[in-house]
Amino acid sequence: MKIFLAQQNYHIGNFEANTAKIISAIEEAKKQGGDLIVFSELSVCGYPPRDFLEFDDFIEQALAAIDKIRLAADTIGVLVGCPSRNAKVEGKDLFNSAYLLYEQKIKGVVHKSLLPNYDIFDEYRYFEPAYEWNVLTFKGKRLAVTICEDIWNLGDDPLYRICPMDELIKQQPDIMINLSASPFDYTHEDGRKGIVKRNVLKYDLPMVYCNTIGSQTEIVFDGGSMVMDVNGSLHMELPYFVEALASVTWNEDGSFADAIVRNADTVDELMPMPWELDPQKGIAQIHKALLLGIRDYFGKMGFTKAIVASSGGIDSAVVLALACEALGAENVSALLLPSQFSTSHSVSDAEQLSRNLGNHYDMIPIEGVFKAYETALKPVFEGLPFNVAEENLQSRIRGAMVMALSNKFGSILLNTSNKSELATGYGTLYGDMAGGLGVLGDLYKMQVYTLARYINRDREIIPQNIIDKEPSAELRHDQKDSDSLPEYDVLDPILYQYIERRQGPREIVSLGNDAALVSRILKLVNNNEYKRNQFCPIIRVSPKAFGIGRRVPIVGKYLV
């Protein structure tokens, strides 16, 4: 049996485009003599559709798409993901389902059993879990079809009370097939391979695993679809962060042939080892994920041009470099907004960066505008010292300027705040926190430096002085980030323990950190939730990102 895996990038709710893409892959697989083609979870509508699922018209369009795809499934079997209606009175109205289409008919429908309701997932909000489990018969073979989370309930501390494969294995299937929408984070690749291997070894069956790729606002899907044989050996792995269509031949004896093995060096890890913040970890994959996140956000929203406020600092330099690589330098502009507190090398570094990248840039000094504000505010501020109010005023002037250019020329402002700053509130609402998309908001400052060096791996794109100099917001003379924050090599690991690892103060102090410093940092994080609540979407690359995956109260009392 020749089985194709279609690793595709879908546009949520774009049924016409998604259906055309699915049918195109089906036609190509038929040309190559395919018997069965497997697509990813909710491929017809795109994942995650969220509250679109509450619209009856949305479901009708999804089911109409299944009818179109069914007509293409004449000489080839098709496994495709789509919502389906719950015909029973009990429970929610919808299932998250996989359809087996063949001979232009719906031959079977399998429903997802395990509905994740943690981090970025909220499937139990919309779907009813499966209440029965049946293998699907196709060309004399018995297929145990599962959907994403259904294969993850293994280990010593399972999250769910049932395991779908424990039920399906009773029906003596010949192979496991999983339709997934498993998102990227820089710790996930080894764990995903490990969980596939655990299933293979536990149930003594091979597995075909098809994952989606593409960015859906905050969430990036990286692909890495795979075929693993009954011995737990990775027989085929599709590339990451790109669409791919590949086939494998499943022989009568259960073995596989005619496949290409890629990235197989980590497959022997059953699960990832305990992981601490390492700025070097997964930096090449992070780079690809951010490029895909930018490119898909613009492409799927119909935007073409981006603008970045370029300060001569590391964060704006990295965002500008990523934007130019993702969108083309001709579609990216930079705006330099120096004040009387900006150093000459910050301006020259920002100019050199744009020359290296080949993007257009403008410069608008803000000293005069700032002094006009000072004059206007003088009757109210009379006799009060220069403080954070004047510092933030400069940031807000810059925000107004760059948004003016964004409005005038139709460019989307890319935000440059990093995770360390967002965590501690080191940013100005309606100033440097403005933007349509947060590019670095899930990277700690130390990771940003590593990414800058990675961008420079072949040639100097980001001027070395930007990487070497001490970070500063330059909102007053001789200002340094370390005036207000601990050094980033001290700050970032503590933030990581609190945010990604969900460790409390006692656990973090037990790792050798100063108790007073830990208390100060954690209070900064909690007290600035109100700022993050107003922030733009952030491209997610970590196991726990700010935004939809981290839901804490703004007015909570914990640790404050």
CA-based nearest residue to 291, from 111, 509, 439, 489: 439
* Whether the Cβ atoms of residue 452 and residue 459 lie closer than 8 Å to each other: no
Angstrom distance (rounded) from CA 503 to CA 509: 10
Active-site residue flag, 163: no
- Whether 445 sits among the annotated catalytic residues: the reply is no
Instruction: Please say whether the beta carbons of 315 and 440 come within 8 A.
Output: yes
**Active site residue: 21, 123, 128, 148, which one?**
148
**8 A C-beta contact, residue 153 and residue 114:** yes
* 78 strand-pairing partners: 37, 101
Reduced to 3 states (helix: H, G, I; strand: E, B; else coil), residue 510 is helix
The DSSP string of 76-97 is: SEEEEEEEEE--SSSS-SEEEE
DSSP label at residue 178: E
Pair 421, 287: CB distance under 8 Å: no
61-65 contact pairs (CB < 8 A, 24+): 61/15, 62/15, 64/15, 65/15, 65/18, 65/19
Closest CA to 361 of 287, 411, 297, 290: 411
Q: What's the distance, CA 226 to chain centroid? A: 20
Half-sphere exposure of 414 (CA within 13 A, CB side): 36
Is 148 labeled as catalytic in the residue annotation?
Answer: yes
Residue 48, preceding peptide bond in cis (omega within 30° of 0): yes
* 3-state secondary structure (DSSP) of residue 53: helix
> Phi and psi (nearest 5°) for 124?
-70, -15
Asked if 255 and 426 touch (Cβ cutoff 8 Å), the reply is: no
Residue showing tokens 């774009």: 14
Of 220, 257, 212, nearest to 238 by C-alpha is 212
Pick the closest to residue 223 from 267, 257, 263 (CA basis). Answer: 263
Burial class from Cβ neighbours inside 10 Å (0-12, 13-18, 19+) for residue 56 reads: exposed
From CA 217, how far away is CA 199, in angstroms rounded? 31
What are the backbone dihedrals phi and psi of residue 480, each rounded to the nearest 5 degrees, phi first? Answer: -130, 150
DSSP three-state, residue 235: strand
Active-site entry in 21, 112, 193, 288: 112
Rounded Cα–Cα distance for residues 478 and 469 (Å): 13
Catalytic residues: 41, 112, 148
